[in-house]
Amino acid sequence: VLVNRGWVPVRKRLPATRADGQTAGLVRITGIVRLGHAPGPFAPPAAPAQHIFYAPDGDALARGLDGPVLSIIVEADADATPPGGWPRAGVTRLAIPNDHLQYALTWYGLAAVLAVIVALAWRRARAVARGQGHR
């Protein structure tokens, strides 16, 4: 699997510039498993030769590596930030919107407006049927 260990600034892109953050041997990582996704239409093109990607596209990342690699991405949580601070792990933000009240108010409000319109149309139709015309 692919592991997103975190973010590094451009000046620290080369591993030699962040020697404290390099790991050796077995490492235990906790994080979030993602299947990745292709970059959006406004994302700049990836530069695989320079190992620069703008979206977690597991397939594109796996193609650039030697050997069999699953295109599953584990995004390390904040506890995985190594000594020296780079790469900075835990950059994935889980912000699941809770818009239930907003949706409920919107749809019940629209239903109430529809009920008023139906009541007015029904009242007008009854008046026309009685021959009273338009009120």
> Do 12 and 75 reside in the same domain of the chain?
yes
Q: What confidence tens digit (pLDDT) does each residue in 17-67 have?
A: 998 888 888 888 889 998 877 788 998 988 878 778 888 888 888 877 777
112 pLDDT above the threshold of 60: yes
Provide the whole-model pTM: 0.61
* Whether 103 and 69 share a structural domain: no
Give the integer Cα–Cα distance in Å for 28 and 80. 9
Q: Do 62 and 122 lie in a common domain? A: no
CA-CA-CA-CA torsion sign (8, 11, 14, 18): negative
Kindly state whether residues 73 and 107 are assigned to the same domain. Answer: no
Query: Which domain does 133 fall in, by range?
Result: 97-135
Q: Is 103 in the same domain as 72? A: no
